[in-house]
Structure 1
Amino acid sequence: MIKRSLAGRIGRLAGDSRPERVLIAASFVNRVGNGLFNAASALYFTLVVGLPAVQVGAALTIAGVIGLCAGIPGGHLADRRGARTIMMLALVVQAVSMASLVLVESWTALTIIATVDQIAAAVGGAAWGALVVRVGGDRPARFRAKLRTFVNLGVVLGTVGAGLALAAGTRGAYVTLILGNAASFALYAVLLLLLPRYPVLAAPPQQRRWLAFTDRPFLAFTALYGAMGLQYPVVSLLLPIWISEHTEAPRWTVAALFAVNSLFCVLMQTRIGSRIETLHDGGRAFRNAGLLFLVSCPMMALAAYTPVWAAAGLVLTAIFVHSLGEVWESSACFALGFGLAPDHAQGQYQGVLGLGFSAGQALAPAILTTVVLGLGTKGWLLLAVFFAALGAAGPSLARWGTRTRPQPGVAAEATG
């Protein structure tokens, strides 16, 4: 009786329906694999394969730029041919390309294989967005929050496993991480077979093929989303450099901030995200995120002017506030990104949104390391105001999006 009760609680935590549990489990497995690979990929190509770091960076940059172009047509294909089918094909390609990395011995081979992988990743990402909408059912916000919780947990566990392999430092350990990631893509594809075959939703007659490019509120949100995405490398890139070069905080603070950030997001995502369902909710959550970043960034800057233990405490407090902002921001982007898109074109819209986010992430390192670090404390304050200004636009954008969405009666008539 107790065992059945415990199993029931775990099942409800993982999802409210069988399709939800399947997609959460599949995503979790894949993110464990991603965590294994991401933490060790650069070291493998430089230390084991022997490629110069500059060549590795160039290969990955070329692959990333080319991959950006595949998300939108891939998402459109998912809308017209079925999100599950397209995503499974993309996952199979990623499994093969990832496994092929263990054979890389030259820059050319790395560039070609990484490009194929990034194209498949962009197509799969857009199809994943469309599939999430279909699986989410009547409580999409709650499902997306749970999904992100388990995705974050998977990355954390994968990173821990990568740390153990990195400690060994052998070629076999690195190869195991790469093949483990390849296996996670293959298992992901197999698990998707357990999902039902969702029928393709017909587009209304006379509608433009590339609808997302004419949707001004959505394009405006895509720009805001890409810009607000700078908050992610604040934790992974900017703050570690700031701690090591400008503060007296002990170096273990860098590891601690990653742990606090990941753990807090895992614990709070469902609690906060499940309540953010409508466009109106998303707009307010976006504003809340900006205000929290307005508080966290100056706290990070002030750590440079405090004694050693005070600096460590200030940084950890700042990352706690920043993580809360991250949860609000991701929940807002779920509500707005999916809520502004029509159901029959979710893949196309998620492809556009992914392009905007990826472009922001590509520009982030240059912006954060030159502007913010270059200006020092003033740069942190400027970044804080920038995030707050972006967040302040959330409610107005939500109202604009609501006014320009087809009313239920009109939509029914169009599809009738």
Structure 2
Amino acid sequence: MAGDTGPERVLVAASFVNRVGNGLFNAASALYFALVVRLPAVQVGAALTVAGLIGLCAGIPGGHLADRRGARTVMMVVLAVQAVSMAALVLVESWTTLTIIATVDQMAAAAGGAAWGALVVRVGGERPARFRAKLRTFVNLGVVLGTVGAGLALAADTRVAYLLLILGNAASFALCAALLLLLPRYPVLATPPRRRRRPVVADRPFLAFTALYGAMGLQYPVVSLLLPIWISEHTEAPRWTVAALFAVNSLFCVLTQTRIGSRIETPHDGGRAFRTAGLLFLVSCPMMALAAYTPVWAAAGLVLAAVFVHSLGEVWESSAGFALGFGLAPDHAQGQYQGVLGLGFSAGQALAPAILTTVVLGLGTAGWLLLAVFFAAVGAVGPSLARWGTRTRPQPGAAAEVTG
């Protein structure tokens, strides 16, 4: 079921359309810049790194603007900017042009991420975490479908095919913005008297959760970056296993996100779910490491089983993030709180490749075991953090449920 109300169905549809476009572009972007634009991989990586670092700075101001001017309005503006910046990629011929366009896109994406979180709270009403779980299900499905479309373009391997992928992604941003016109104009919530203008900077429990959430976010590149390298360099598993693990990960998240996430709503639920996620990663990481010591017929099965366990941990971790991220944020400042949370997560993702490829791969099996213990230790803090956050909310029960 896409949603229980009209606004929920609109937001689900908008998110789905946008993610289909993202799937079209993300799966083929590297090849476009290398084969069509003919930029060296080092230059492409440098441009995207610069853009990503600058873009991080736009999340918190974008969230604050969403709180004061309306999340729907801010979201529509940033989607329009992304539609234009994405379409402009067809004009890229140099590193400088790519860097400028990518920076504009990443700044809009960061601001839009914070505004989107605030919008989810208003549309989701009394159960935003439950609604966000539904959204994530359709996000995963949209990415899968977009990736299939990208595969067709990659098979064609022509300039026109790549350009159609880029313009298709640009159109998805524009259509997403148009769909948001169907949402009601939610009134801006007034800041309570004697409340800080930017309360998140003084909210130590939420800042602590942001740090932990960014640290636990290292689990995402485990499947997309670390495991494929480990499979190719240290195991006898066939190369098709890499493609299979992506399919298992995406499909499992699509099938289980709503079922599990709908039961994890309060910060108390989120704290326990965070701990559960850490324990699941404690199991999955050693399984991935053991694939290097098994025969070829067993290595593929062990890797797929490990990804199954890891995907289950991913669902619990993301559900915990929704419950704590929304539940600990006050109604009037959801935008800036989601901006801070997004900043912490993005910072973790920026550091993840260096950490995983140097520490974990450098230490081999010991690195995998160290990573497993790290995830379990981070997750173990979840319940106590939830209790601390709930105890320090301004009003009793405000962290348990957020009203839109």
TM-score (normalizing by structure 1)? 0.95
Q: Which residue of 1 aligns with 2:202?
A: 214
SS in structure 2 opposite 1:69?
helix
Aligned: 1:38 with 2:5:
no
1:285 correspondence with 2:273: yes
Which residue of structure 1 aligns with residue 142 of structure 2? 154
Q: Summarize the Cα distance change of 1:212–1:50 in structure 2 as closer, same or farther, 3 Å threshold.
A: same
Q: Corresponding residue for 2:118?
A: 130
Q: Which residue of structure 2 aligns with residue 196 of structure 1? A: 184
> Which of the numbers 326, 331, 355 marks the counterpart of 2:319?
331
Aligned-pair identity in percent equals 90
The structural deviation recorded for 1:144 is 1.1
Q: In the alignment, is residue 301 of structure 1 matched against residue 308 of structure 2?
A: no
Q: Which residue of 1 aligns with 2:402?
A: none
Give matches, 1:265-414, under 5 Å: 265-408=253-396
Change (3 A) 1:347 1:380: same
**Structure 2 runs not aligned, ≥5 long:** 400-404
Is residue 67–residue 189 contact of structure 2 (8 Å, CA) maintained in 1?
Answer: yes
CA distance in 2, matches of 1:171, 1:278: 49
Runs of 4+ displaced beyond 3 Å: 408-411
Give 1:158 deviation, angstroms.
0.4
Q: 1:92 is matched with which residue?
A: 80
The verdict on how the C-alpha distance between 1:111 and 1:410 changes in structure 2, with shifts beyond 3 A counting, is closer
The letter for the 1-side match of 2:350 is: A
Q: Is the 8 A contact 1:141 1:275 kept in 2?
A: no
**1:313-367: CA deviation from partner (whole Å, max 9, x where unpaired):** 1000000000000000000000001111001000000000000000000000000
Residue 105 (structure 2) pairs with residue 117 (structure 1): yes
Counterpart position of 2:230: 242
Partners of 1:282 and 1:227 lie apart in 2 by 16
Q: In the TM superposition, what is the alpha-carbon distance from 1:139 to its structure 2 partner? A: 2.5
1:136-175 CA deviation, whole Å, 9 max, x = no partner? 0122232111110000000011011101101111000000
Q: Counterpart of 2:48?
A: 60
> Retained in 1: the 8 A contact 2:217–2:349?
yes
Q: 1:41 and 1:108 mapped to 2: Cα distance?
A: 17
1:409 CA displacement:
9.2
Would you say how many aligned residue pairs link Structure 1 and Structure 2? 399
| 1:3-40 Cα distance to aligned partner (Å, 9 max, x none) | xxxxxxxxxx0000000000000000000000000011
User: Compared with structure 1, are the counterparts of its residues 74 and 314 closer, same or farther at alpha carbon in structure 2 (3 Å cutoff)?
Assistant: same
Q: Is there any run of 5+ residues in structure 1 with no aligned partner, and where? A: 1-12, 412-416
The RMSD of aligned alpha carbons is 1.1
Tell me the secondary structure at the aligned position of residue 387 of structure 1: helix
Match of 2:59 in 1: 71
- TM-score, normalised to structure 2, is 0.98
SS of the aligned residue for 2:357 comes to helix
